[in-house]
A and B are shown apart, each in its own frame.
Chain A
Amino acid sequence: MEPAIRTDGLRKSYGDVVALDGLTFEVDEGEFFGLLGPNGAGKTTFINVLVGLVRKDGGTAEVFGFDVETEYQEARDRIGLAPQEFNVDRFFPIHEVLEHKAGYHGVPSDEAERRAEEALKTVGIYDKRDTRFDWLSGGMKRRFLLARALVTDPDLLILDEPTAGVDVQLRRDLWGVIERLNAEGTTILLTTHYIEEAERLCDRVAIVDSGRVVEVATPDDLRSRGTDQLYLTLDETLDAVPDIDLDGVVEARVDGDSLVVTAQGGSRLAPSLLRELEYEGYEVTNLDIRRASLEEVFVDMTRTDDEAEQLGAIHQ
C-alpha cells in the first residue's frame, strides 16, 4: 500500500531564504499526522508543494504514490485542503462555491449540490448557505474552509492551522468532525500551533524546524524524551539537597517544603528514588510526578542556538 504522503529531500528556497531543506518523511494511509514547528519552519510551504501552489526546487513529493508535479491531476484529486488564509470566491453564495469546487473535481452537478448541502450540515452552517463568504463570522469562515475541503470527499485532508483564532467550543466541534473523518478512514495532515491539539488528535507528529524534520514520533514517545519533575514532600524541612546518585536525574533542588527532582522517565525512576531517600534516612510523605508536556519537548527541539545560549546565560 502506498503511503498517503511520501517526500524525499524536498527543497525550496526564496532567494537566500531556505524554506524547505531536504524535508523527508512519510504519512501512512489512514493516519492522523501532525506537523509542528515554529513560524517560518516550512510547514505551509510543504503543504503548498503538495497541492501545487509552490514549485519545489528539488526532491520528490508523492500523494498516494502520485508525483505532485508529473501526476498532478491524480494527486490533487485525492486532496482536500483547508488553508490558513480565507481564499474563498467572493462572488457567489457559499453553497455555490462548494458546488463549483466539487465540479472542478469532476463531481456532476446533482451530486455536487447534495455534497455541498451535506458538507455545510457537517460543519453546522447550513442555514447560511445563501450567504456570501464575506458576511460570515470568523468562526463560520473557519467552518466553511473545512466544508470546502470536505466537499470533494478527499482521501487526504490537509488542515493548515484549522482552529487558529476560534473559540474553545468551536475548536472542540471541529475536532469532533475531524476525528470522525479520520475514524472513517480519511488520512489527516494537521499543522497547528496548539500543542494540546496535536497531543489529543495525532497518531504521530513530525517536528519541523528550518525546513527539516527534526523528529517524527508519537506524542507519547516524544513526551518520554522530555524531563519529568518529581515533587517529593518529606517529613522534615530540608536545609540542603540530599545526595541522589541515580541515572537519569538531571537536577535536584529544594522548593519550600518539597524536594524537586528533574529526571528523564520520572515514573520509572520514582521507586529507586524513594528507596534511595529512605536509605539516607528521609521519609517521603507525598509524591507528585509532573510529566513533560509535548510543548516543552517541542520548545527544546526547536530552540535556536542563540536562544539556548541566552537561556544558559540567564540560568548562570
Chain B
Amino acid sequence: MSSTFGVGFRSLLKREILRFVRRPKNTFLPPAITNVLYFAVFGVVLGQRIDDIAGFDYIVFILPGLVVLGAISNAFENSSFSIFHGRWNEYIHETLTSPLSYSSMVLAYILAAALRGLVVGVIIVAIGLLFTPVPLEEPLFLAAFMLVIPTLFAALGVVGGLLAEDFDHLTVMNQFILRPLVFFGAVFYSLDILPPLYRTLSLLNPMVYMVNGVRYGFLGFQEVDPILSLGVLSGLTACVVALDVYLFKRGYGLID
C-alpha cells in the first residue's frame, strides 16, 4: 500500500495541478486583469491623490493586500471547485474508490490549490512591478506567510466544496464571505485611520493578520505582531486540514 506521499498522492496532485495549469484563461488571466485594474485605478488614478500611508506610496501600501486577496481567492476557488465539480459529476468517485488514504486525498487537493494561490500571488507582484518598485524587507516572513495563507484557504475550500449543494453556494462563499472580510481586512487602508471601536472590531477579522503579515514581509511595516500572526494562522491551518481529513473519513458530502 502506497504511503501518504506515494505514487497515488503524486498522481492526484499532478491531476489537480494540470487541471488549472492547462486552463490559464480561466485560472490566471482573470486575476491578472483584475489586478491591472486595481493597480491602475486605486494605485495610479486615485493613489496620486492620496497621501502616503506610514511613509509608503499608496500603490505600494495596497500591493500586499492585493496579493493576499488574489492568493486566497484562487486557493479557495481551486479546491472548492475541484471537489464540488467532482461531486456534481460524480467523477470524484475515481479518487474515492481508489486505495488512496483519506489524508493523501486531502493533502493533494490542498497543496495543488495552495500552489495556484501562490502562483497568482506571484503574478500579482509581477503586475505590481509594472507600476511601481516593490520592496522586499522580510523575505523569510513573506515566504512563510505566502505558504501558510494559501494553504489555509485551500483547506477552507475543501470544506466549501464538501458543503456546497450547487454552484451558487460556491459563489456565495467567495463573494459574500471572503471578499468582504478581505476588503475590511486593511487591504486599502491602515488600521490607524480607523476610530478605536472599528479598529478593535477589525482585529477580530482574521484577514487583518494575513494582510499585516504579508505587508510586513514586503514593507517591514507592521500593525500586529507578525510572529503571533504566523503562529495563529499556522495553528488555524492545521485545524482546518484536520477537519478536512475528518470530513473525508466520514464521507461528508461524498458518500451516502
Contact = CB atoms under 8 A, between A and B. Distances in A.
Interface of A: 14, 45, 48, 51-55, 72-74, 76-77, 79, 81, 83, 85, 87-92, 97, 99-109, 112, 148
B8 A106 contact: yes
**How large, as a class, is the contact surface on chain B?**
20 to 34
Given A74-B1, A104-B100, A52 B255 contact: yes
Interface of B: 1-2, 6-8, 10-12, 14-15, 18-19, 22, 86, 89-91, 93-101, 251, 255-256
Given A52-B97, A89-B86, 9 more contacts: A51-B96, A55-B256, A73-B99, A74-B1, A87-B90, A88-B91, A99-B11, A105-B99, A148-B94
Contact of A106 (B6, B18, B97): B6
**A76, A85, A105: residue with the most chain B Cβ atoms closer than 10 Å:** A105
A201 to B, nearest CB: 23
A22 to B, nearest CB: 19
**A48, A52, A79, A112: residue with the most chain B Cβ atoms closer than 10 Å:** A52
**B1, B98, B255: residue with the most chain A Cβ atoms closer than 10 Å:** B98
Given A53-B97, A81-B97, A87-B93, A103 B12 contact: yes
A65 B34 CA distance: 56
Given A53-B93, A53-B97, A90-B91, A106 B255 contact: no
Given A52-B255, A104-B94, A76 B11 contact: no
A48 B6 CA distance: 26
Contacts of A55: 251, 255-256
Contact of B11 (A45, A48, A85, A103): A103
B91 A87 contact: yes
A103 B15 CA distance: 10
Contacts of A101: 94, 98
Q: Sorted from nearest, which 7 A-B pairs have the closest CB atoms?
A: A103-B11, A104-B98, A87-B90, A77-B99, A106-B2, A73-B99, A51-B97
